[in-house]
Structure 1
């Protein structure tokens, strides 16, 4: 009894602290680009959308209507669901294994990074996880005996899952396999009440099927064909490295052991059939995701895909912990707590400008959270100085959705962009008539995000934009975190401008390399060009201040790579200068460029760090 009471107290304290932290982070963290698009979908209520069924969009709309137009409002329904999940796992585990183990399973759900952070972001994984746990609970109860209440719970879970994501089909498949492997499961599936619940689940897919029938199967093609290479990739082996880190290694081991122990043959009365059910659900789900990882999309985030299976294994994991020596049990709990701290630390870093800047240039830099409010402020300032009928034109769905949320305008037009196709949003934007179809009869403020494509594709993208709107005038540059998030704002007159394509400037610093350690004088050398008009000069900046005017115009032929470039100065686009660092304090500094175009444009380039050696 004392052990159970301690487990209950620990769970309540942990739930309170974690929930408070999630609310605080959700209130401060800017919307992720996908969240902004789900908000936009919620402003155009429909039964289904090109990328998802309707529930995620409906939840964002509900949150905004209840508590207001801000990030916390968008995320509120997801926070509520995320806060309920540990209680649900605790209740499931308590019912079959006892209250002590139940409270511990709930605490593990609160500590495991993948589940602990559910609800901070308004993403479909939250309602899908909620639905999966409902189905897990209903399935375990139905194995004991079919009753109307459990069948109703199964129906609700299947309904919510069908309205959450295409991937819920996999959850249904895993559940069926687990039940078919159990004699009690096969017996359960012969009951009419179970089939009534399944019928509700089948009917819930009809809005999504109807949308696809009306739109040439655009959603199905994207989710099942276009986003996946369906070719073997060795990168799938990263699953074995990433998953133990994301759920913490010892907890991952405990869940695997819980799955193995549950699947082993049982003697009469040795263990409840529910443990075997949880083990089968967790094992089949995890192994399926692992195998699919060799053939499916690896460019976008997929580390959360095994989460429904992990919930099943978490319910039984405390039974494994009790068998371990005390040292290893405590180490497992400590590692889980450390994992929780790291997960929240990342979100807190993304929400803090000072901490976030420290990751500038790093592959973990949270670009999709960054810079939207400064961009919205710059757009407001530009529009204040333009005609009243000026329209905002976004370079991609990301910019359109984020600006739309901050401006409370769900009807910002966007240019055609490969990103719109890659994320399955083109068909939806077309249905809303928000894809730019040609020059308009009113002024436009074009907003581009150069970081939306790989650098090697950037010049081609600029030329594509020229083809859509004409030569680009000098831009206003909005630079965040030393230029590692940049936006370009262009004032476009009515109609399409004629003439040769004029693009923003392109540049590269060859020396010094990023993070180079320098002492005394350092050579700064590289190339820069601007298609259509060329550059007049290049200034070298240190920590945002002009340190030197580079000698610009030396021979540096880059046309072998930038084959479509039309800078009139080619091949004389090299620059070089010599900087003295003796006046700089030892430590980290930032090297940047200011590019002056022949058309009067002034563009600051992304900065890179260098270190001044101690003297």
Structure 2
């Protein structure tokens, strides 16, 4: 990329913009929740594998500011760009490699999503690392690249269980591509599998010791709801938009090309995402597919689209090829600038707004009886109040204890004694008297100037009846 300063300028410019956005936007509840994980490092957590917390730990030893919580996630886009550039270069050529990097910045889900501290950027980076190792394998024909693939595949499972489908994608590649099956007669894929197993072992052992809590939560959702068609259209329409509509067109052509010829490189790019999409097409008939679930396969799809774009001719195709980057980068830039310059967002976009205000309202609450501790009743407010109260780093922070979904917080221990100030989201129907005696109304609090269902909280005082009680049960 050194020979193409315009591409370097795009990568650096978008990185700087992401860093600015990351420093200006307050943490959304999920990010605060993962920050709380990082205060209690472990090999697993109730909701996800541990890599998101590990990444936060690596930067927040310097500061707990929003920028440092998100720093490794923003930086991961640079690693993603290099992996995909090199994979495209060794599989195809420099022109396709350059277009791949450019289009990664034009892919809306990846470009904007890397600003947020969630399991997705680690998951995407590890999947891309696995694809890069397979690209090197195809280019060099050296079996030890299976070991690198196994490492990335195993570490990907430490990021998100979605990455289990990467191994299944390799199986699909071997089914589609006869030359790839010859590796089965060598020890390398099996040694790579052992490396993957070793890399994912920490979380497997954690689950073994915690009744497979994370595995059950993540994979117990499939088929949990009744059959429905209402989420299918949403899924089908959202994916091209999140990828970039013009890139999607070229990617779709690449899928057709892979099934029409015997090109191993194209078959690899098409096969890797197939098992994940197959799973999601089963899931979508029972529940909503969140847009970010497909994020790990997007870099490979971008590369597939770039391959087709460089080889197709025609006036219309030339125009689409030229417009794809300005469209995606322009929209990504607009969204990032909007987030940076608009501190108060309406509706669900305002999830990060005003938690300091709520924290102050609780800190200075003059409830009768002088409560000795604060009881949260949902994971959004528990994560945000933990972050904004400075726990566990500030000596004058109040004692906060989660009294709902307590399996999320195994480090909590026994609930505090004495009178509690109980914080209940206005839109959350909970019977506080289930766990607390002598319940009294202590007023309301809001994290926004105009209280609403999503931003208002009811406050109560009460004394705990049973230390094992959980309001969510």
TM-score past 0.5 threshold: yes
SS in 1 for 2:73: helix
Partner of residue 509, structure 1: none
- 1:505-534 CA deviation, whole Å, 9 max, x = no partner? xxxxxxxxxxxxxxxxxxxxxxxxxxxxxx
Match of 1:330 in 2: 319
The change in CA–CA distance for 1:441 and 1:141 in structure 2 (over 3 A counts) is closer
SS in 2 for 1:473: strand
* Aligned: 1:466 with 2:442: no
From 231, 236, 243, the equivalent of 2:232 is: 236
Residue 244 of structure 1 deviates from its aligned partner by 1.5
Specify which of 279, 301, 308 is matched with residue 320 of structure 1: 308
Task: State the partner residue of 2:349.
Answer: 366
Question: CA shift at 1:285, angstroms?
Answer: 4.7
Could you state the TM-score of these two structures normalised by the residue count of structure 1? 0.68
> Could you tell me which residue of structure 2 aligns to residue 428 of structure 1?
408
Does the alignment pair 1:477 with 2:409? no
More strand by share: 1
Structure 2's unaligned 5+ residue stretches are 393-398, 466-473
Equivalent pairs counted in the alignment come to: 455
Larger radius of gyration: 1
- Counterpart check, 1:208 vs 2:203: yes
- Give SS of 2:77's match: helix
Q: Hey, what's the Cα distance between the residues in 2 that align with 1:383 and 1:222?
A: 39
- Measured in 2, the distance between the counterparts of 1:343 and 1:188 equals 41
Aligned to 1:248: 244
Conserved? CA contact 1:393–1:414, under 8 Å: yes
Counterpart for residue 383 of structure 2: 401
Residue in 2 aligned with 1:502?
none
Contact 1:285 1:306 in 2 (8 A): no
Partner of 2:83: 88
Q: Which residue of 1 aligns with 2:124?
A: 129
Do the aligned residues in 1 keep the contact of 2:81 with 2:101 (CA within 8 Å)? yes
Distance in 2 between the 1:92 and 1:329 partners?
24
Q: Tell me the distance in 2 between the aligned counterparts of 1:481 and 1:292.
A: 43
Distance in 1 (CA, whole Å) between partners of 2:325 and 2:282 is: 27
Matched residue of 1:205: which SS? helix
Q: Which secondary structure does the structure 1 equivalent of 2:118 belong to?
A: coil
Alignment CA distance shift 1:224-1:204 (3 Å): same
SS in 2 for 1:223: helix
Kindly state the Cα deviation for residue 152 of structure 1 after the two structures are TM-superposed.
3.7
Partner of 2:469: none
Match of 2:287 in 1: 297
1:278-301: CA deviations, max 9, x gaps? 12224x156425513423531xx6
Deviates more, 1:479-488 or 1:130-139: 479-488
What secondary structure sits across from 1:163 in the alignment? helix
Name structure 1 gaps, 5 residues minimum: 421-425, 497-615
Contact 2:90 2:139 (8 Å CA) reproduced? no
- Distance in 2 between the 1:86 and 1:55 partners? 20
**Counterpart residue number, 1:163:** 158
The separation in 2 between residues aligned to 1:334 and 1:109, in whole angstroms, is 14
> In the aligned structure 1, how far is the partner of 2:90 from the partner of 2:152?
19
Whose helix proportion is higher, 1 or 2?
2
- Structure scoring higher RCO (CA < 8 A, sep ≥ 6) equals 2
Q: Which residue of 2 aligns with 1:551?
A: none
Alignment of 1:154-553 (within 5 A): 154-226=149-221, 229=224, 231-234=226-229, 235-266=231-262, 271=263, 273-282=264-273, 284-285=274-275, 287-298=277-288, 302-322=290-310, 323-346=312-335, 348-350=337-339, 352=341, 356=345, 359-360=346-347, 365-382=348-365, 390-409=372-391, 412-416=400-404, 420=405, 426-429=406-409, 431-433=410-412, 441-451=417-427, 453=428, 458=429, 461=430, 464-469=431-436, 470-480=438-448, 482-484=450-452, 485-488=454-457, 490=459, 492=461
Counterpart contact for 1:349–1:355, Cα < 8 Å: no
Further displaced range: 309-318 or 33-42: 309-318
Q: Distance in 1 between matches of 2:45 and 2:170?
A: 26
CA deviations on 1:267-326 (whole Å, 9 max, x unpaired) are: xxxx5x2222112224x156425513423531xx62122233332222232232231434
Measure how far apart 1:124 and its partner are. 0.9
CA gap 1:194/1:441 in 2 versus in 1, 3 angstroms:
closer
Aligned residue for 1:382, secondary structure, equals coil
Taking structure 2 as the reference length, the TM-score comes to 0.87
Contact 1:260/1:279, CA 8 A, preserved across alignment = no
The question of whether the paired residues in 1 share the 8 Å contact of 2:109 and 2:242 is answered with yes
CA contact (8 A) 2:343 2:353 kept: no
Q: CA RMSD in A?
A: 2.9
In the TM superposition, what whole-angstrom CA distance separates every residue of 1:550-591 from its partner, at most 9, and x where no partner exists? xxxxxxxxxxxxxxxxxxxxxxxxxxxxxxxxxxxxxxxxxx
Kept in 2: contact 1:476–1:489 (CA 8 A): yes
SS of aligned partner of 2:451? coil
Contact 1:390 1:443 in 2 (8 A): yes
Q: Distance in 2 between matches of 1:5 and 1:354?
A: 37
How much does 1:19 deviate? Answer: 0.6
Alpha-carbon distance between aligned partners in 1 of 2:407 and 2:175, rounded to the nearest angstrom: 39
* Residues 413, 435 of structure 1: 8 Å contact kept: no
1:558-573 alignment to 2 at 5 Å?
A: none
Following TM superposition, by how much is the alpha carbon of 1:409 offset from its aligned partner in structure 2, in angstroms? 1.5
Q: 1:111 touches 1:339 (CA, 8 Å); kept in 2?
A: yes
CA distance in 2, matches of 1:177, 1:326: 36
By how many angstroms is 1:215 displaced?
2.6
